[in-house]
Structure 1
Amino acid sequence: MIRILFRVLGHEHTGPVRRTVSLMLATAVVEGLSYALLVPLLRALFGDTPADAWPWLTAFAAVFAAYGVLRFSSDLAGFRVGIKLLRGLYHRLGDHLARLPVGWYGAGRVGEVSTLAGQGVLQAMSVIAHLLAPSVSAAVTPLTIVAVMLAFNWQLGLAALAAVPVVAATQVWTSRSMAAADEERATRDHEATARVVEYLQAQPVLRAGGRTGERFRLLDDSLHDVQRASRRTTLSVLPGTLGLTVTVQALFTTLLALGAYLALHGDVGAAEVLALLVLAARCADPLLSLSDVAGKFRAARTVLTRLDTVLSTPPLPEAPDPAHPADHTLEFDAVTFRHGDRTVLDGVSLTVAEGERVAVVGPSGAGKSTLLQLLTRFYDVDAGAVRVGGHDVREIGTETLMSKIAIVFQHVYLFDGTIEDNVRLGRPDATAAEVRAAATAARLDEVVARLPDGWTTPVGEGGTALSGGERQRVAIARALLKNAPVVLLDEVTSALDPLNEAAVHQGIERLMAGRTVVIVAHRMRTVRHADRIVFLDAGRIVEEGTHEALLTRNGPYATFHHPTPTPPHFSTPAPPASATP
């Protein structure tokens, strides 16, 4: 488990963890040795001259004080290292998630990642802050006490030593019997989290369809599965916990009987027997805690394994010697891209000259948005190449590539902050005047002017405090502030009312001025003024040209924008049975 922990934390953090573990080991050994002084202390106390116990009592107090200092230091080190690593792990996980291909975020990933990033990371770091010290103490202190018992009386020492493999075997059996139940519980927890997220996101659709009752049942079923898994986990704990308790108590009873036998036959003094039995009893306490500590360790190991799996997922590879685009031309060279078993793009070749505006249109599922995602390297192609400025995007560093591109999506996501915070994401070091200028160009200033808190108005998680048109204006202002030479627009006006569409369209015109632009849209107003229109169908380019030229050809583009209307069909109701024909 420690190896998994080191892999999850990264090599740069192994040093502090090793030092903390070493301090905990020293603390556990000193604790065991402090109890060793009980043997001469009790021997002197119950001997002919009890006053001889004072030096041993002083030594015991000194060693116990040293143990207290070490224990405080090791616990404090565990908390400090745990907190430091908690922050480091959050950063490492966040950086890694940001580098994973978008295709990795499939069904169920939201629930899994939210659980790992929240409760999972905290549970993993509890290993260092809360579990390492008691687990080291439970293992090392009893072994130290056994060594002390061997030094004072070999018979009782050997009996205690013989108990070690019995306790270890019991603990291993307990862990194995609970592993399957722990895994099932973790799986059910992830499924329930995904159901909760799904249920919350689907509220508008469910309410519009009047199916909230059905969705309640689905969520309720997943929560019942968690309840049943928890019950099975609890039941699987009982045999191991009872078995360990019975084993430890039986071994202590055996030592008690052996000590009594040796004392009655004069092989050892009563005071020594009493001291050694106190040591044996002290061994029992940490051993009995093994079951609880081991259960927490198994839960933490499950989380660490999941974190390790995520962190081991290979990100999109970065070129060792990143190239820099010579200009702002865009090129798709015989690009083929597959998503699962489906071929989304099939041998697409397209060149967009610097400063040119190209609109991509076509039916839903044709692969239009995928073209934009390949340009931004959200995915890597399966065949062919996507080039920016003459260089394959796989040869360009991610930061360099994204600095060249501004994207405005159909569904704008705003972070839970103020309007100004979200605009500044385009260029965090922009001046206030530059932010205001970008907002004015996007007509966002009209929105800010009517909000009570102006620029400091919170937008809510995802931008829920703003309308769709207002969110689009924020996105356009953000893109204008970024001032990137390449602009990608994905259906930015498809779901807006006429007033917001007009405002957003003006902002788009300012955004596109003097830039290389690729537009995915259906609205004639958006595409008709493009320098070139590309019609995409079933992952292939079937037609391209200007708006007027494509309408003249009367091909797929003309049909797409002027579909043949289908007259409505109204069935004539049958006359009532009592009607006279």
Structure 2
Amino acid sequence: MIRTLLRVLGDEYAKPMRATVALMTTTAVVEGLSYALLVPVLRALFGSTPADVWPWLTAFGAAVAAYAVLRYRSDLSGFRVGTSLLRGMYHRLGDHLARLPIGWYSAARVGEVSVLASRGLLEAMGVAAHLLAPFVSACVTPLTIVAVMPAFNWQLGLAALAAVPVVAAIQLWTSRSLAATDADRAERDHEATARVIEYVQAQPVLRAGGRAGERFELLDGSLREVQRASRRTTLSVLPGALGLTLAVQAVFTALLFLGAYLALGGDVGAAEVLTILVLAGRCADPLLSLSEIGGKLRGARAGLARLEAVLRTEPLPEPGEPVRPARHDLAFDAVTFRHGTRTVLDGVTLTVREGQRLAVVGPSGAGKSTLLALLARFHDVDAGAVRVGGVDVRAIDTESLMARTAIVFQHVYLFDGTIEENVRLGRPDATDAEVRAAATAAQLDDVIARLPEGWSTNVGEGGARLSGGERQRVSIARALLKDAPVVLLDEVTSALDPLNEAAVHEAVERLLTGRTVVMVAHRLRTVRRADRVVFLAGGRVAEEGTHEELLHRGGRYAEFWEISMAPVGE
């Protein structure tokens, strides 16, 4: 557990954690020694010369005082380290996420990172503040007491030492046996959460189809699986907890019988036996608490494992000696890209001259959006090369590549801030005049004019307070303000009404003027604005040429065009 925590923290943050663990360990040792000093104290007090108790009593008082000071410092250190590590780990996780390729962020991973960055990271770093001290104390204090017992009576000491491997074996067996049930429980929880979200989001469709009851059965079945997994986890905990309790009680009973036997035989005094039994009882309390602490640690360990998996994800490698291209033409050279076991692009070769517009057309799943993602280096290719200005994108540093590229997605995400703040993301150091000019070119002026707070209007999370067309205009204004020489355009008008579509098309036309453009096209107006058209099918270039040339050939593109031009209902 502690090794996992140190790996997650990394070299920068692991050092204060090691110091805190060392301080907690020292505190637990001193606690155990202070309890052990009760043996000579009571032996002298009930012996023939009670006055001999004062040196031992002084040592006992000093040990207790030292323990109190160390306990205060170790607890305070735990809280301080936990707080600083939480802040530091947020920075480390944030910096790492910022270096991961955009292609890594699937829908499932976005949800996982959201949970990890909130509850998961808080629970994992809470180990230092709340769980580490009790865990170290429960392990080290009993060991210290047992280690010093032979100094007072070797028979009772050896009997206590013999119990150590038994207790350790039970704890190890319990931990291993619960690993599978904990993983199953986590999987069932994840599935049930997905079912709940699905059930809520699908209500309109389910009710319209009269199948809400059927879907509820699926949700109910998922929740029953969670219940069964919880029951299995509980039942798996019982043998270990019961075994630990029986082992501790058995050792205590054995010490009691052995002590009574030795006392009756005159080999040891009654006071000494009583004191050692008190020490054994003091060992029992923290050992029995290990079951409860272990359950909390398993939950924290699961969070640490997920955090470690994310931090171990390698970002795309940065070039040692980055090259800055002097031109802005684009090229795909025998590019192959796979997503899992599926080949998305297979040996694609095409070029886009500087200042040229290329429209990419094809059926769903043909790999159109993947072309844009590879140009922006959201992923690295499996074979071949993607080049900007004749330079492999893998030889261009990320900052330089992003500075040369403006991307307008079909589904726009705006940050929870004002319209002006969202536009300024394109170029934070732009002047007010440049921001206003970009807004005008993007047809954003009329949107701002009708909003009560104008530029200061808060768009809400994801831009929820704006319509789809208004969000697209903000996105285009942002791209215009960036003024990048390469524009990657995913069809931005496919879900807009005619009025917004016309405004956005006019804004897009201003954005594309004089730039090298690759645009995924669904609407015919978009295709007609392109200098060349590429038709993708099955991850390969099926046809390539101008719009008129492809229509004249009567191939796949012409068939696609005729279907697109056909009136609805034919």
Q: Name the TM-score, length of structure 2 as normaliser.
A: 0.92
Query: 5 Å matches for 1:103-252?
Result: 104-105=104-105, 108-199=108-199, 206=206, 211-252=211-252
Counterparts of 1:319 and 1:205 in 2: how far apart (Å)? 49
Counterparts of 2:335 and 2:94 in 1: how far apart (Å)? 31
CA contact (8 A) 1:348 1:539 kept: yes
- In 2 relative to 1, CA 199–486 (structure 1 residues): closer, same or farther, beyond 3 Å? farther
Q: What residue number does 1:407 align with? A: 407
- In 2 relative to 1, CA 18–567 (structure 1 residues): closer, same or farther, beyond 3 Å? closer
Equivalent AA in structure 2 for residue 437 of structure 1 = A
- In 2 relative to 1, CA 83–286 (structure 1 residues): closer, same or farther, beyond 3 Å? same
Structure 1 position 110, deviation (Å): 4.3
Contiguous gaps of at least 5 residues in structure 2: none
Aligned partner of residue 517 in structure 2, secondary structure: strand
Q: Kindly indicate whether residue 296 of structure 2 is the aligned counterpart of residue 259 of structure 1.
A: no
- In 2 relative to 1, CA 85–193 (structure 1 residues): closer, same or farther, beyond 3 Å? farther
Counterparts of 1:68 and 1:454 in 2: how far apart (Å)? 62
Counterparts of 1:567 and 1:397 in 2: how far apart (Å)? 47
Q: What residue number does 1:279 align with? A: 279
Structure 1 position 186, deviation (Å): 1.8
Counterparts of 1:90 and 1:224 in 2: how far apart (Å)? 36
Aligned partner of residue 461 in structure 2, secondary structure: coil
Counterparts of 1:233 and 1:559 in 2: how far apart (Å)? 59
Q: What residue number does 1:422 align with? A: 422
Q: What residue number does 2:345 align with? A: 345
Structure 1 position 411, deviation (Å): 1.0
Counterparts of 1:286 and 1:44 in 2: how far apart (Å)? 28
Q: What residue number does 1:324 align with? A: 324
Counterparts of 1:213 and 1:548 in 2: how far apart (Å)? 53
Equivalent AA in structure 2 for residue 40 of structure 1 = P
Q: What residue number does 1:480 align with? A: 480
Counterparts of 1:210 and 1:479 in 2: how far apart (Å)? 45
Counterparts of 2:68 and 2:451 in 1: how far apart (Å)? 60
Which stretch shifts more, 337-346 or 271-280?
337-346
Q: What residue number does 1:579 align with? A: none
Query: 5 Å matches for 1:424-463?
Result: 424-463=424-463
**Deviation sequence 1:229-258 (CA, Å, 0-9, x none):** 111111211121122112111211221222
Q: What residue number does 1:493 align with? A: 493
Counterparts of 1:218 and 1:427 in 2: how far apart (Å)? 48
- In 2 relative to 1, CA 505–278 (structure 1 residues): closer, same or farther, beyond 3 Å? same
Counterparts of 2:201 and 2:415 in 1: how far apart (Å)? 16
Which stretch shifts more, 382-391 or 192-201?
192-201
CA contact (8 A) 1:115 1:190 kept: no
- In 2 relative to 1, CA 311–549 (structure 1 residues): closer, same or farther, beyond 3 Å? same
Aligned partner of residue 462 in structure 1, secondary structure: helix
CA RMSD after TM alignment: 2.7
Counterparts of 1:138 and 1:324 in 2: how far apart (Å)? 59
Q: What residue number does 1:573 align with? A: none
Counterparts of 2:451 and 2:441 in 1: how far apart (Å)? 18
Structure 1 position 347, deviation (Å): 2.6
Equivalent AA in structure 2 for residue 175 of structure 1 = S
Aligned partner of residue 350 in structure 2, secondary structure: strand
**Deviation sequence 1:25-73 (CA, Å, 0-9, x none):** 1111111111122123223433456565455444433321221221121
Structure 1 position 489, deviation (Å): 0.8
Q: Name the TM-score, length of structure 1 as normaliser.
A: 0.90
- In 2 relative to 1, CA 40–317 (structure 1 residues): closer, same or farther, beyond 3 Å? same
Q: Kindly indicate whether residue 45 of structure 2 is the aligned counterpart of residue 18 of structure 1.
A: no
Counterparts of 1:554 and 1:467 in 2: how far apart (Å)? 39
Structure 1 position 565, deviation (Å): 4.4
Counterparts of 2:220 and 2:354 in 1: how far apart (Å)? 55
- In 2 relative to 1, CA 297–335 (structure 1 residues): closer, same or farther, beyond 3 Å? same
Which stretch shifts more, 304-313 or 280-289?
304-313
Aligned partner of residue 325 in structure 1, secondary structure: coil
Equivalent AA in structure 2 for residue 22 of structure 1 = A
Structure 1 position 227, deviation (Å): 1.9
Q: What residue number does 2:362 align with? A: 362
Counterparts of 1:212 and 1:466 in 2: how far apart (Å)? 31
Which stretch shifts more, 207-216 or 190-199?
207-216
Counterparts of 1:212 and 1:461 in 2: how far apart (Å)? 30
CA contact (8 A) 1:472 1:504 kept: yes
- In 2 relative to 1, CA 441–380 (structure 1 residues): closer, same or farther, beyond 3 Å? same
Counterparts of 2:454 and 2:19 in 1: how far apart (Å)? 52
Equivalent AA in structure 2 for residue 513 of structure 1 = T
Q: What residue number does 1:574 align with? A: none
Aligned partner of residue 459 in structure 2, secondary structure: coil
Counterparts of 1:567 and 1:22 in 2: how far apart (Å)? 75
Counterparts of 2:543 and 2:172 in 1: how far apart (Å)? 68
Contiguous gaps of at least 5 residues in structure 1: 570-581
Counterparts of 1:212 and 1:478 in 2: how far apart (Å)? 43
Aligned partner of residue 221 in structure 1, secondary structure: helix
Counterparts of 1:483 and 1:477 in 2: how far apart (Å)? 10
Q: What residue number does 1:464 align with? A: 464
Counterparts of 1:362 and 1:126 in 2: how far apart (Å)? 51
Aligned partner of residue 149 in structure 1, secondary structure: helix
CA contact (8 A) 1:111 1:190 kept: no
Which stretch shifts more, 211-220 or 350-359?
211-220
- In 2 relative to 1, CA 553–170 (structure 1 residues): closer, same or farther, beyond 3 Å? closer
